[in-house]
Each structure stands twice: as structure tokens, then as C-alpha cells.
């Protein structure tokens, strides 16, 4: 028995010696690396972690480091709160808290989850010196090396100061910016209550910002205050008083204007991260100057119009304003309020696009011999297919002509029966082919419902597609960044538009004129044009198409100067209402009219091509107008103008079976 105990002691001693030897070996290696780092040039971190965003006029509108402050100008409460919760041994370690790492590994392995992190403030600061936070081994090694170099050349106070000037406080970078944003005061004047609230945000900005989720933010504040008590910075009584202090968030007027513009900034940074020629580390550039296409006039028009017209406080929205000639994104909103949700519905979401897909179907139709006068019968219809499958679409409000209507009328009323018949007549590959030509790469189901926009497509893709109509046939790519330079002005990247002609200019002109029927009073008959309600607000000529599904409202419209697309709906796909649709249309027209104020139709509309002719027609029948009929001038490729009698194409669709 004694021999077994002696053997166990010897074995334990042996393993202890091995473990201590391994630890000693790694300590020697670490200090060897530390000494080597000490011999390297000092990292030029002053300003190296910053970027400046410029608008389309060359004016700075956001800078990550425009409000750097020294440590002595930051509230001691904020400094203590940050150290207590992020890295309590900050002033004791040399960049890595090995005991904390071992503890975190033990907890995570035992639980099978990643419950604890062990990054020190220096490690987090080194991470902030990169444009993105890739979790590759290559990136981790680079961050570790920068951590060692920071610790070998800079004092703890210098590192902490740099960290506090770069950290993300919910889309606001740096403690001075954050202090002014949340409390409209300098960082040196933060109270314990305010400081402990701000110190909690960086852990998870989308969760712990008090402007997004105050309950979670208060829970995080309690954790921070308890950590401050535990580490001897404050008493429990002071912690309780701070926790129970009611905080007033008094954003400055300037910062309050970022309510939607932050979505644009996020889109800029996403695009920046995708540019291969930009170094991933700010240390390689000394910071960046990013010249964007943001037009403050367009952004203000978008935000003001949305705030004025979208009265339902629960519904979400997305809006994009673009220059169709170049693809420049002039303004963008990915939601109602960035402080409440950072999810960018304009760049990230895919939604059913409804009838806003129809212009591309009708372009294909015009390309394949249709004219504005081509007719199909609009009536309740069941489409029958092989395998005893049927499809019974309905028009909005169940309104039908119960007779032939022209393509022009079908566009004006957004007639679903006409659209499905057109889709079947052309063949199921025609619409996807056109969509691919104008830049929509989405794999689309070719069922008949595609003609009614039952498929989900991202708004930016739809903006690119509509731009091809607005610029008379050229495929463009929406982009946010025109140029990037280092702080010395050396160009690192410059966008070069590559316009590709994909549509026929004459055909596009005919379609653009057809899309003005959506608000033409001449079409008020058994039905009403879909956008007639906003016609009184228009002082310019526009091509417009709206769309409505059970869960989505959309509208896209343009002239040669501007294309604007907008969506409203709910993130959880609740049904939308007709009032929501009306509000969206008013938002859209207000954006267009505000931005284009002072311009004439000669400046904003298209010159009629030589091969196109305008003819007065009867809106519903599509026949040449007579003295006794309504008349609307529509445009035709020369030689396709309407004769007295136009033949309906209904008989050319053998798959149709009319309801009895």
C-alpha cells in the first residue's frame, strides 16, 4: 500500500515537473519574443486606427478618430469601469493574461460552449487596428504580434488611451464621440451612472446599447458596477445609487441626424472590407480617407419624407436613392431607427417584390412583338397545367375588365391576369433572362407566380435592375465608395464604372412612357391607376411601378436623373395594410420632388428616339383614339402604331382554361 502511494507521489511529481517545464519553456519563448519585439521599430499608432468618410461634395461627415482625447480628459469612473469589466489585471500583465486564458479554456471545455473570453485590453486594441475582425489563424497571429509590440513600446496608459479612443460604442467609435452621442457631454464629465452604462456597450453593441434594449443594458450595467465593487473602485452603496439613477439620453442635434444615415455608413464599411487592394491593417496606411457617394441633400430628403409620411410606428422601411447613370448610391436607409435596429434591410434582406417585377416582364414582351396596344382579356381565370395543377391569381380588390384590355391599361392597373398570360405566352425563361441581363443573379423559380413577383429579391439588386431602365439600357452596379486614399492622399482604390449596354434604347423608351400610366387620369375607368393618388404632388414626369403582397409594400420610380426604391413591411412578416401602401407612395414622391426641386422635365425626362412615334390611343382598348373616346398619347416603335382593329392574343395561350 505504501509502495503504491510512493509511486503515485513520484508520478504526480513527475507530471508537475513536466507541466512546470512546459510553462517555463513558454515563458522563456514569450520573453524572447517580447525582447525581439522591443528591438523592432515603434508602431506608429497615433491616428493609425482612424478613418474619415467624405460625402459626394468632399466634406467629412464621419470620422472614427475625430474626437481623440487624452486619458486625463476621460472620467475616472469610465476608466475604472472599463478595466474592472474588461481586464482587471491590465496594469499587471504584459499583453496576455495567461491565468485568465487557462480559466476561460477550462470553463469553455467543461461547458462545451464558448462562455468566457480572455482577451485583454491590449489584445482588443490590436484588433481595433484592423478593418475587419476575421477569425482566421493568420489574423489571430497578426493580432498577437501587434499586442506584443504594443506592450513592448508603449506605456499602459498610452495603450488604454488608444483603446478608449477606438472602441465601438454602438456604431459610435471612441469614448468622446460616444459621450457626446448618448449624453451630449464631454467624456471627462461622465458620472458613475453614465460611465457604467457606456462601459457595458462594447461587449455587444447591438444588445447592450440603452437606445436599443434598455433592459439588457441595465442588466449589463449591474454586472459592471458589481465588478467595480469587487475590485475596490467603489462601495456597494455607490454602486446601488448609480444603478438606480435615471439616465437621460440627450443626443446633440447633429448626432440625432444619424438616425438613418448610420445604415449608409455600415454599407460603406461593408464595401470597404470587400475591396482587395485596401490593406487590412490601419498600421499599413496610417488611417484612411474614404470618399463616398453620400449626397446629404438626398439623405435628408429620404429621412424627412419617411419620418413625415410613415406614421405606423411599428412598421419597418428601407429606402435607396441612386444616380442611374453611374450606379452611385446617394442615400440609403435600412430601417426606421438605427439606434433600435442595426439590421440593414436595404442591403441584407430579401423580400417578395410583388408587381414591381412586371416592368421587366413587359420589356421582354415589347422586345418580342408586343406594343402598348396588345390586348389580353382581363377576367377571373384559372390556369391549368399538366398533372392536374391549377393556378388562380386575382387582381387587387377583385377588379376585372371582363373584356380585352391593352398592355398600357394592364400596367396602369397592375392587372395580374394580363401579367400571367404574358408570362405564359413568352415562355417561362423570358422573364428570368431579362432579369439576369439587368443584374439580378438570384436563382428564380419559373412558376407562373414569378410574373407577380412571388420570389424574394434584395432591394439593391432591384435598384440595379431599375437603373438599367432609367439610364436607357445600361447595366450598372450600385456602389458607395468612389475613392480611398491613405492619410497622405495616396490613392489606394478608385472605382471605375463599367457600363454594359443590355437593353434596346427604343424599347426602353416605350416602356418608360408606359410606366407613366400608373398615375395618368386618362386611365380612370372601371379601375383606378395604382399611383393616381400621388399625381397632385408631381411637378415632374416619372416612370413608376408599385407593388403589394400580403406582407410587403414596394415602389420603384425614376427619371434619367434619379431612381428611388422603397419598401415597408414587418420583420416578422405580418400582413401590411392599404394605408401602409399609401404612406409609402407619399414618401416616395416627396423624396423625388424634394431632390429634383427646380429642375424641368427637359432636364429630367428622355428625348424621344427618332425611331419612336407618339400616337393618341383609347387607353383601355388600345385602338387609335376617336373624337368620342378618351385619349392618351403613348409611344410605339415606328411601324407598330395601332390600326383600327387589334387582335387579342388570348387564343395563343393554350394552357388557359376559363372558369365556368
- Active site amino acids: 86, 355
Nearest to 82 by CA among 182, 178, 180: 178
Q: Which three cell numbers stand for residue 275?
A: 475591396
User: In this structure, what DSSP letter does residue 88 have?
Assistant: T
Nearest to 119 by CA among 154, 88, 149: 88
Cα separation of 532 and 518, whole Å? 7
Which of these, 605, 598, 538, 588, lies nearest to 301 by C-alpha position? Answer: 588
Name the grid cell of 634: 403613348
The number of angstroms, rounded, from the C-alpha of 189 to the middle of its chain's C-alpha atoms is 35
Q: Where are the alpha helices (DSSP H) in 368-415?
A: 407-413
Centre a 10 Å sphere on the Cβ of residue 644 and count the other Cβ atoms it contains. Answer: 7
CA distance 242 to 235: 11
Residue 36: other Cβ atoms inside 10 A: 12
CA distances 492 to 278, 486, 488, Å, are 6, 7, 11
| Cβ contacts of 356 within 8 Å, gap of 6 or more | 453, 462, 545, 546, 547, 554, 555, 556
What's the Cα-to-Cα distance from 500 to each of 234, 275, 635, rounded to whole Å? 65, 22, 25
CA distance 433 to 438: 9
**10 Å Cβ neighbour count for 209?**
26
**Complete DSSP assignment for 273-313:** HH-TTS-SBGGGTTSEEEEE---HHHHHHHHHHHHHH---T
Cα(113)–Cα(117) distance, rounded to whole angstroms?
Answer: 11
Cell numbers 447633429 correspond to 254
- d(CA 115, CA 241) in angstroms, rounded, equals 30
Q: Is 280 exposed, middle or buried (0-12, 13-18, 19+ CB in 10 A)?
A: middle
User: Are 258 and 338 within 8 A, CB to CB?
Assistant: yes
Residue of 87, 79, 181, 173 lying closest to 131 (CA atoms): 173
Q: How far is CA 523 from the centre of its chain?
A: 37
CB atoms within 10 A of CB 448: 20
Q: Contact 65/165 with Cβ under 8 angstroms? A: yes
d(C-alpha 395, C-alpha 571), whole Å: 26
CB contact at 8 A, 391 and 382 = yes
> How many whole angstroms separate alpha carbon 212 and alpha carbon 204?
11
Residue with cell 491613405: 486
Q: How far apart are CA 358 and CA 360, in angstroms?
A: 5
> Do the beta carbons of residue 453 and residue 349 sit within 8 Å?
no
Short-list 322, 275, 272, CA closest to 302: 322
Amino acid at each position: 500500500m505504501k509502495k503504491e502511494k510512493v509511486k503515485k507521489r513520484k508520478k504526480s511529481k513527475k507530471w508537475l515537473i513536466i507541466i512546470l517545464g512546459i510553462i517555463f519553456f513558454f515563458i522563456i519563448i514569450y520573453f524572447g519574443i517580447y525582447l525581439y519585439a522591443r528591438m523592432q521599430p515603434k508602431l506608429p499608432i497615433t491616428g493609425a486606427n482612424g478613418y474619415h468618410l467624405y460625402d459626394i461634395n468632399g466634406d467629412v461627415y464621419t470620422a472614427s478618430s475625430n474626437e481623440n482625447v487624452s486619458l486625463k480628459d476621460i472620467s475616472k469612473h469610465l476608466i475604472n469601469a472599463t478595466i474592472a469589466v474588461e481586464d482587471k489585471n491590465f496594469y499587471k500583465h504584459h499583453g496576455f493574461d495567461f491565468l485568465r486564458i487557462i480559466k476561460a479554456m477550462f470553463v469553455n471545455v467543461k461547458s462545451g460552449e464558448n462562455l468566457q473570453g480572455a482577451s485583454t485590453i491590449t489584445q482588443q486594441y490590436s484588433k481595433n487596428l484592423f478593418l475587419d475582425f476575421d477569425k482566421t489563424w493568420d489574423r489571430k497571429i497578426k493580432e498577437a504580434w501587434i499586442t506584443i509590440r504594443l506592450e513592448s513600446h508603449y506605456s499602459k496608459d498610452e495603450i488604454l488611451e488608444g483603446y478608449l479612443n477606438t472602441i465601438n460604442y454602438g456604431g459610435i467609435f471612441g469614448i468622446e464621440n460616444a459621450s457626446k452621442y448618448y449624453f451630449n457631454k464631454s467624456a471627462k464629465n461622465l458620472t458613475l451612472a453614465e460611465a457604467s452604462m457606456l462601459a457595458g456597450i462594447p461587449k455587444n453593441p447591438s444588445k447592450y446599447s440603452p437606445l436599443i434594449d434598455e433592459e439588457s443594458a441595465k442588466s449589463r450595467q449591474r454586472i459592471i458596477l458589481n465588478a467595480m465593487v469587487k475590485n475596490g473602485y467603489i462601495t456597494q452603496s455607490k454602486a446601488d445609487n448609480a444603478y438606480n439613477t435615471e439616465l437621460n439620453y440627450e443626443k446633440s442635434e447633429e448626432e440625432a441626424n444619424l438616425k438613418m444615415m448610420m445604415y449608409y455608413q455600415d454599407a460603406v464599411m461593408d464595401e470597404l472590407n470587400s475591396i482587395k487592394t485596401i490593406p487590412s491593417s490601419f498600421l499599413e496606411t496610417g488611417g484612411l480617407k474614404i470618399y463616398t457617394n453620400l449626397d446629404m441633400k438626398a439623405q435628408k430628403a429620404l429621412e424627412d419624407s419617411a419620418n413625415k409620411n410613415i406614421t405606423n410606428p411599428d412598421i419597418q422601411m428601407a429606402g435607396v436613392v441612386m444616380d442611374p447613370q453611374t450606379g452611385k448610391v446617394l442615400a440609403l436607409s435600412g430601417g426606421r431607427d438605427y439606434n433600435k435596429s442595426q439590421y440593414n434591410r436595404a442591403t441584407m434582406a430579401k423580400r417578395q417584390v410583388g408587381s414591381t417585377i412586371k416592368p421587366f416582364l413587359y420589356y421582354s414582351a415589347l422586345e418580342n412583338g408586343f406594343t402598348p396596344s396588345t390586348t389580353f382579356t382581363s377576367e377571373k381565370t384559372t390556369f391549368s397545367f399538366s398533372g392536374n395543377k391549377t393556378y388562380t391569381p386575382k387582381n387587387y380588390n377583385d377588379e376585372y375588365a371582363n373584356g380585352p384590355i391593352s398592355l398600357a391599361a394592364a400596367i396602369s392597373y397592375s392587372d395580374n391576369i394580363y401579367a400571367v398570360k404574358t408570362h405564359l405566352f413568352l415562355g417561362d425563361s423570358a422573364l428570368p433572362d431579362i432579369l439576369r441581363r439587368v443584374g439580378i443573379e438570384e436563382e428564380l423559380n419559373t412558376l407562373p407566380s414569378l410574373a407577380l413577383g412571388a420570389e424574394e429579391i434584395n432591394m439593391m439588386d432591384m435598384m440595379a435592375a431599375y437603373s438599367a431602365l432609367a439610364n436607357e439600357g445600361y447595366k450598372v452596379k450600385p456602389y458607395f465608395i468612389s475613392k480611398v486614399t491613405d492619410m497622405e492622399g495616396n490613392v489606394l482604390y478608385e472605382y471605375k464604372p463599367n457600363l454594359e449596354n443590355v437593353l434596346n434604347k427604343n424599347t426602353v423608351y416605350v416602356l418608360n412612357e408606359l410606366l407613366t400610366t400608373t398615375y395618368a387620369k386618362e386611365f380612370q375607368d372601371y379601375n383606378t391607376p395604382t399611383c393616381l393618388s400621388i399625381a397632385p404632388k408631381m411637378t415632374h414626369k416619372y416612370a413608376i411601378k408599385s407593388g403589394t403582397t400580403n406582407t410587403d409594400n414596394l415602389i420603384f420610380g425614376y427619371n434619367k436623373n434619379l431612381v428611388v426604391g422603397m419598401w415597408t413591411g414587418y420583420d416578422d412578416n405580418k400582413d401590411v395594410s392599404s394605408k401602409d401602401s399609401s404612406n409609402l407612395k407619399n414618401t416616395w414622391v416627396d423624396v423625388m420632388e424634394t431632390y429634383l426641386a427646380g429642375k424641368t422635365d427637359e432636364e429630367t425626362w428622355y428625348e424621344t428616339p427618332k425611331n419612336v412615334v407618339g400616337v393618341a390611343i383609347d387607353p383601355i382598348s388600345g385602338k387609335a383614339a376617336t373624337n368620342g373616346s378618351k385619349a392618351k398619347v403613348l409611344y410605339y416603335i415606328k411601324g407598330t402604331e395601332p390600326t383600327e382593329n387589334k387582335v387579342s392574343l388570348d387564343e395563343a395561350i393554350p394552357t388557359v382554361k376559363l372558369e365556368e
